[in-house]
A = this chain, B = another copy of it.
Amino acid sequence: MRQIGIGIAGLGTVGAGVYKHVAQNRALLCERLGVELVVRRAIVRDVHKPRVAGPPAAELTTRWQDLIDDPDVQIVVELMGGIDESLALIRAAINAGKIVVTGNKALLAEHGQEIFALAAHKKVPVFFEASTAGGIPIIKTIREALVANHIVSIHGIINGTSNYILTRMTDAGLDFAEALAEAQAHGYAEADPTFDINGWDAAHKAIILASLAYGFWVGTDKIFVEGIDKLTATDIRFADELGYRVKLLAIIKADASLPDGGAGNSGGIEVRVHPTLIPKTHVLASVSGVFNAVAVRGDVVGETLFYGRGAGQDPTASAVISDLAEAAIALGGQHRTYGFTPHGLYGTCKPLEDVRSRYYLRLAVDDRPGVLAQVAGIVGQHDIGISSVVQPETHDAADRAQLVFMLAEASERQMQAALADILQLACVTPPPALLRVESFS
């Protein structure tokens, strides 16, 4: 199988995750892409540092120029962070004709215009799914899935650290300093949390989303940014009493008057990031902890919302690898797909009788002593646990009592056999109500 060579700049949390998952899901990726992704080189600060995941020491280097010079590296993955060195690397990669994948939101927010102008000039793709909202494919969604739409608005909870802090201030009544300390203890906030709590991490992502949606790069001086660092527990409580949750929200909106037929510019867009009161009934109000969510309204599609983990090794690695897949397709020059890719890694459906579930079982029964014991006895004979039994006071029209069982996990085979036996009982009047319970474990 043809190999695609990858150079990773930066083997920190995300870089190591990319290396690990490209290796672990190698067979699946080969089947889906028709090529093999191979990490050929990685740039690190210290070649001799012990690592949990990463290429052999011989493939490590401290000089990013080595990635550019290596003819076997076709894709450069920039995960170093920072600005100056990352920008130099990306410029050099584009000039050398190597496809770039980056997760560097600050770099794109500040230098996106220059980077994409150079990329267009050199006809080299630059992918950046990992720059915004980690595991949520919001870049691909806005760029491709919603291509038919003028974007009316975007509302995003796109900083997990802030959202964790606000969730704890709301649910546990902590004040800001306590919640921040807790976030740091759990690894949800960095030692220096400045950009998370002053709003600028979210602002960089908002600039990327707005630029993508509206087709021009939004300057950092054109947006309003306020963090959560001055927010008090008092205001969160008062907001709660008024029916609101406080979230750090990125808000991107175009004027209602959409541009017509390319005749000219619209009335302008707005981009802002600040603590925001949102009605408790809105779905964004229920996005808790480190999770992110982005609600996008398009003029054709209407309301949509995308939810997932916004940061962390694995979700961000998933985003980087989806960009690697795009890059591999761009390198191949082949059609992306015929819509459905068969692969041989799965291939059987489990027999229905073996499918396991929890169950809700309601029976109409004679209202006399001993009935519950009889039914429970049969359930036990079939080795099915009973989580709870309720006998509501209400009777049906025929004055039968209602018995409601919540049953533990069992196979369909067990459950149907038990039910058949239960229906043999003279004290049980059919039909029973059998519903399955999903606990998302």
Measured CB to CB, the residues of A under 8 A from B are: 21-22, 25-33, 112, 116, 119-120, 123-129, 135-137, 140-141, 143-150, 155, 211-212, 214-216, 218-219, 222-224, 232, 234-235, 238-239, 241-242, 244, 246, 249, 251, 254-255, 259-263, 265-272, 274-279, 282-283, 286, 295, 298-309, 314-315, 317-319, 321-322, 325-326, 329-330, 333, 335-350, 352, 355, 360, 362, 388, 390, 392, 402, 404, 406, 412, 433, 435-440
Contact = CB atoms under 8 A, between A and B. Distances in A.
A362 B262 CA distance: 44
B215 A259 contact: no
13 contacts: A28-B262, A119-B339, A124-B338, A136-B304, A140-B141, A141-B145, A212-B340, A214-B347, A241-B392, A244-B360, A255-B350, A259-B345, A271-B349
Given A148-B322, A238-B392, A302-B314, A335 B344 contact: no
A244 B438 CA distance: 10
What's the number of copies of this chain in the assembled complex?
Answer: 2
A147 B33 contact: yes
Given A137-B141, A275-B435, A329-B336, 19 more contacts: A22-B148, A26-B261, A27-B259, A27-B262, A31-B215, A123-B338, A135-B301, A143-B341, A214-B346, A218-B349, A235-B433, A238-B360, A244-B437, A267-B350, A276-B438, A279-B440, A304-B309, A306-B307, A307-B307
Contact of A326 (B144, B222, B436): B144
A286 to B, nearest CB: 6
Nearest to A246: B435
Nearest to A356: B270
Nearest to A148: B321
A339 B116 contact: yes
Contact of A269 (B21, B322, B346): B346
A276 B355 CA distance: 14
B224 A355 contact: yes
Nearest to A30: B262
A300 B21 CA distance: 7
Given A211-B340, A330-B336, A362-B234, A318 B149 contact: yes
Residue picked from A29, A147, A241, A343, most chain B C-beta under 10 Å: A147
Contact of A436 (B276, B335, B362, B440): B276
Contacts of A270: 349-350, 352, 355
B435 A235 contact: yes
